[in-house]
Amino acid sequence: MTGIGLFGAGGHMGTTLIRAIGESPLCTLAGGCERPDAPAVGRDLGELAGLRPLGLVVTDDPGALCDASDVVVDYSAASATMALLPVAVARRTPLLVCTTGFGEAEREAFAEAGRAIPVMLGANMSRSVLAMYELVRTAARRLGEEFDIEIFDFHPWDKIDAPSGTALELAEHAAAGRGVALADAMVTARHGETGKRRRGAIGFSSARGGDVPGENSVFFAGPGQRLEIISRVTDHRAFAGATLEAAVWLARQGPGFYGMEDMAAG
C-alpha cells in the first residue's frame, strides 16, 4: 500500500483526504504537515478529520513528512509549495501538487525538480473538470473565431488567486483547440471603456464568496447561439478519488514532470 503524506493537512482538502484514505484499499496515511503557526500542528490527524485517533500528529516539519511518505500530496498555497519543493527533491520524495497560483518561473522550477523526482501538477482533481478539458479543446477546434470564448470561475471567499488555476488550464485547452498561444489571446481584466472585443480573444472573469468548492464555466458565444460547458463541484469529496489515484500512480513513476494526461495515457 502506498503511504501518502498530506501537506496542508488542516485545510478542507486535507481533512477530506484523511477520511478518503481511511476508506481506500490502495493507500495508507503516512503523516500530515502544516505551517508552524497553524492551529492543527500537534493534533492527531484522525481527530482533526472527525475520526478516531490514528496515532499520527500534524507536524510542521516538511522533511519529516517526506521521509515518512511514499508520495506527498500538496493542498496548501503557492508560496508554501515552493518552500516544500526543494525539501521533496532533497529527500527524493514524489510530489503531487494540487495547489494553484503559479507563474512561469514556478512551473520551470517544477520541471527542473522533475529531473530528480516524480512531480505532477494538477490544477483541479475533479473528474468532471478532467473531462471538461477535453470537451473544451474539442469545442474550440470545431467552432470558429465567430464564437467568442469566455471563462468564468467561482470559488470560496478565501481563495487568493484569480483567475483560478482551473480557469487557466481550461483556457490552455481552448487555445490549443484554436491552435494559438494563450499568452497572445487572454484578456484577464476589463474596466471602464475598453473598446470592442478583439476577435479570437479568450476572456476571464472570477467570483469569490461563501464556501463554494468550485464552479467553472466556459462559454462559446456565437451568432444567434451559445454553447456552455459547466462543472459544478458541491462537495470537496469530489476531488478525493482522482487525487488518491494520481498519488498512487505517481509514487510508482520515475523522475519526470507529469500531468494528469500522462496518467490517463497509462
The model's pLDDT over 165-205, given as tens digits with 9 standing for 90+, comes to 889 989 999 999 999 999 999 998 888 888 888 889 999 99
Q: Which of 159, 173, 191, 196 is catalytic?
A: 159
pLDDT at 105 over 70: yes
Cell matching residue 66 = 517526506
Q: Which of 12, 155, 173, 236 is catalytic?
A: 155
Burial class (CB in 10 A: 0-12, 13-18, 19+), 202: buried
The Cα–Cα gap between 118 and 13 comes to 22
**Catalytic annotation present for 155:** yes
pLDDT level of residue 266 (50, 70, 90 thresholds): low
What pLDDT, in 10s, does the model give residues 223-259? 999 999 999 988 888 889 989 999 999 999 999 999 8
What pLDDT, in 10s, does the model give residues 39-64? 999 999 999 999 999 999 999 999 99
**Domains of the chain with bracketed CATH:** 2-125+237-264 (3.40.50.720), 127-234 (3.30.360.10)
pLDDT at 263 over 80: no
**Catalytic annotation present for 236:** no
Beta-carbon contacts of residue 32 (< 8 Å; ≥ 6 apart): 5, 6, 7, 9, 10, 14, 18, 40, 45, 48, 56, 58, 59, 65
Q: Which amino acid is at 183?
A: A
Nearest to 202 by CA among 154, 152, 148: 148
What pLDDT, in 10s, does the model give residues 64-96? 999 999 999 999 988 999 999 999 999 999 999
**pTM listed for this prediction:** 0.81
